[in-house]
């Protein structure tokens, strides 16, 4: 690697050894889908209880819990060293390993933010009928430490969820159909390929465009593929040559979203402090424009100094909104709507658009 930072590369190698070549604090986010440790005590079964075909794969063989824990501690230690002080890590696991992962993460100083339950909309049934159908996996989301000023794109998550706060239980399908990579025999290329929707949510929630995302267990390349699609950078590590090849081909097929479409809904504190009047001055919302409340029951006219008038009442977008609804206060940005190209649009969109332009610039 000759000391160069291997951004946008899928590296073939052992993850611990390879991570040791990366500088301290050099990645913004980590997504890790480590071996599940399924083969302990002859347990040749996946979390969904299907027999683990094709996992003569050495990647899931550990002699005992101590060996698994030592490996886990080592890769997590390296991951923490590489992670930016304000970065976050996602580690996904099943009941086989997630409790061990979580305890080791806390021991190493990670600060757990959430455990997300990925509820599978189409889980494999429990064929033997001796346990509940295992219908979820757990994602541990943690900051590098308790003081980390980590990124959480709260508004973007809310927008993704029809304007309701995103909860910690995610209902998403398993990776099936065309999304599932096949080998030359038409069989699943990788036994644990994660769905793109899961990585989409992870990346939109916790990273910005152009952030660097590390995946130490790349597998079929779901993380780098989604990172590229969403305009993030990636470094991925995988030791199995067939998976490296398939992941590189997959990422090469992926299109990067054009830069003007990358910005997501900014956090309120990141909203530019743009006075409403400046949209009047620039003609984005010229004097004389009619504004309405959401139900179109109230109406006001924009005046040249940026105040609104409705009948004999006049005030700022916030003050008039409060006066007309007899409320103690009102966020005028989200209260008022205008018509644009036949659409009824919240005036806050103007601020969001100017923020998006800044991000691109």
Ligand X SMILES: C[S@@+](CC[C@H](N)C(=O)[O-])C[C@H]1O[C@@H](n2cnc3c(N)ncnc32)[C@H](O)[C@@H]1O
Which of residues 134, 193, 208, 289 is near ligand X by CB under 6 A?
A: 193
- The answer to whether 93 and 138 are in contact (CB under 8 A) is yes
Q: How far is the CB of 206 from ligand X (least distance, A)?
A: 16
- Segment 78 to 117, residues that bind ligand X, using CB under 6 A: none
Q: Which residues contact 188 (CB under 8 A, 6 or more apart)?
A: 54, 180, 181, 182
CA distance 261 to 256: 10
Residue position matching structure tokens 């309405």: 292
Told to check if 59 binds ligand X by CB under 6 A, we report: yes
Question: Which of these ranges, 118-126, 217-225, 228-236, 257-265, lies near ligand X under the rule CB under 6 A?
Answer: 217-225
Which residue stretches of the chain are H helix? 15-19, 65-82, 98-108, 154-160, 196-206, 222-229, 241-253, 276-281, 317-325, 332-335, 348-360
> Applying CB under 6 A, does 190 fall inside the site for ligand X?
yes
Q: How far is the CB of 94 from ligand X (least distance, A)?
A: 10
If 0-12 CB within 10 Å is exposed, 13-18 middle and 19+ buried, where does residue 258 land?
A: exposed
User: Helices 196-206 and 222-229: crossing angle, nearest 10°?
Assistant: 60
- Is the Cβ of residue 194 or residue 351 nearer to ligand X in the bound state? 194
CA angle 128, 130, 136 (to 5 degrees): 90
Of the pair 19, 308, the CB lying nearest ligand X is at 19
The yes or no reply on residue 192 touching ligand X (CB under 6 A) is yes
Q: Which is nearer to ligand X, 81 or 239 (CB)?
A: 239
Shortest spacing between CB 25 and ligand X, in angstroms: 22
Question: Do 78 and 104 touch, CB atoms closer than 8 A?
Answer: no
Residue 32 vs 350, nearer CB to ligand X: 32
The residue from 68, 90, 110, 243 that contacts ligand X (CB under 6 A) is 243
- On whether the CB atoms of residues 265 and 155 are closer than 8 A, the answer is yes
| Contacts with 3 (C-beta within 8 Å, 6 or more apart), sequence order | none
User: How many positions of this chain bind ligand X (CB under 6 A)?
Assistant: 18
b/e for 79-118, b at 16 or more Cβ within 10 A? bbbbbbeebbbbbbbbebbbebbbebbeebebeebeebbb
Both tokens of 141, joined, read: 């989301």
Which residues does 35 contact at the CB level (< 8 Å), separation at least 6?
Answer: 59, 60, 62, 68, 97, 217
- Binding to ligand X, residues 9-38 (CB under 6 A): 14-15, 33, 35
Smallest distance from the beta carbon of 8 to ligand X, in angstroms? 18
Residue 234 within binding range of ligand X, rule CB under 6 A: no
Instruction: Please report how close the Cβ of residue 243 comes to ligand X at its closest, in angstroms.
Output: 5
Closer to ligand X by Cβ: residue 14 or 260: 14
Q: Which is nearer to ligand X, 220 or 352 (CB)?
A: 220
Choice between 246 and 320, CB closer to ligand X: 246
Q: Decide whether 46 or 351 has the Cβ nearer to ligand X.
A: 46
Residue 217 as a binder of ligand X (CB under 6 A): the answer is yes
Q: Considering only residues 148, 211, 238, 302, which one is a binding residue for ligand X as defined by CB under 6 A?
A: 238
- Nearest alpha-carbon partner for 18 in 101, 84, 87, 79: 79
Residue (47 or 266) nearer to ligand X, CB:
47
- 194 is a site residue for ligand X (CB under 6 A): yes
Q: Which residues bind ligand X (CB under 6 A)?
A: 14-15, 33, 35, 59, 190, 192-194, 217, 219-220, 222, 237-240, 243
């Amino acid at each position: 690697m000759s000391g160069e930072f291997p951004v946008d590369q899928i590296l073939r190698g052992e993850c611990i050894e390879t991570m040791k070549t990366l500088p301290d604090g050099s990645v913004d986010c980590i997504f890790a889908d480590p071996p599940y440790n399924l083969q302990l005590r002859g347990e040749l079964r996946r979390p969904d209880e299907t027999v683990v075909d094709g996992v003569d794969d050495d990647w899931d063989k550990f002699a005992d819990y101590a060996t698994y824990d030592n490996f886990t501690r080592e890769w997590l230690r390296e991951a923490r060293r590489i992670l930016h002080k304000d970065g976050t890590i996602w580690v996904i696991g099943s009941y086989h390993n997630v409790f061990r992962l979580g305890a080791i993460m806390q021991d190493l100083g990670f600060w757990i933010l959430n455990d997300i339950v990925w509820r599978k909309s189409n889980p494999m049934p429990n064929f033997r009928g001796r346990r509940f159908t295992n219908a979820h996996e757990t994602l541990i989301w943690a900051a590098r430490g308790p003081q980390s000023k980590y990124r959480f794109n709260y508004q973007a998550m809310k927008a993704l969820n029809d304007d309701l706060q995103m909860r910690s239980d995610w209902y998403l399908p398993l990776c099936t159909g065309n999304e599932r990579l096949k080998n030359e025999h038409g069989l699943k290329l990788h036994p644990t390929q994660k769905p793109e929707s899961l990585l989409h949510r992870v990346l939109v929630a916790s990273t910005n465009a152009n952030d660097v995302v590390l995946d130490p267990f790349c597998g079929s390349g779901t993380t780098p593929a989604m990172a590229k699609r969403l305009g993030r950078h990636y470094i991925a590590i995988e030791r199995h040559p067939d998976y490296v090849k398939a992941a590189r081909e997959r990422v090469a097929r992926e299109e990067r979203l054009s830069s003007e479409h990358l910005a997501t809904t900014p956090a309120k504190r990141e909203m530019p402090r743009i006075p409403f009047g400046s949209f009047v001055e620039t003609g984005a919302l010229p004097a004389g424009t009619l504004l309405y409340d959401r139900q179109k029951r109230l109406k006001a006219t924009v005046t040249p100094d940026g105040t609104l008038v409705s009948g004999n009442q006049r005030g700022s977008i916030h003050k008039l909104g409060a006066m007309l609804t007899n409320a103690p206060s009102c966020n005028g940005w989200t209260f008022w709507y205008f018509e644009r190209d036949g659409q009824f649009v919240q005036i806050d969109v103007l601020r969001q658009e100017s923020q998006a332009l800044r991000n691109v610039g």
